[in-house]
Amino acid sequence: MGILGLDHVVIATQQADRAAALYGARLGLDMRFDTIRPDCLRLMFFRCGDVVLEIVQNLRDGVRNDGDRLQGFSWRTKNAEITHARLCKSFGVSDIRPRRRPNTRVFTVRSRTAGIRTLFIERLQSAAA
Assigned domain for 46 exists: yes
Assigned domain for 129 exists: no
Compare 111 and 99 and report the one with higher pLDDT.
Answer: 111
> For position 1, what pLDDT does the model report?
62
**Are the CB atoms for 103 and 123 separated by under 8 Å?**
yes
Confidence of residue 62 (pLDDT cuts 50, 70, 90): confident
CATH classification at residue 21: 3.10.180.10
Confidence check: pLDDT of 110 > 80: yes
Confidence check: pLDDT of 114 > 60: yes
Q: Which residues in 61-100 are b (16+ Cβ under 10 Å) and which e? A: eeeeeeebeebbbbbbbeebeebbeebeeeeebeeeeebe
Q: How many domains does the chain have?
A: 1
Assigned domain for 128 exists: no
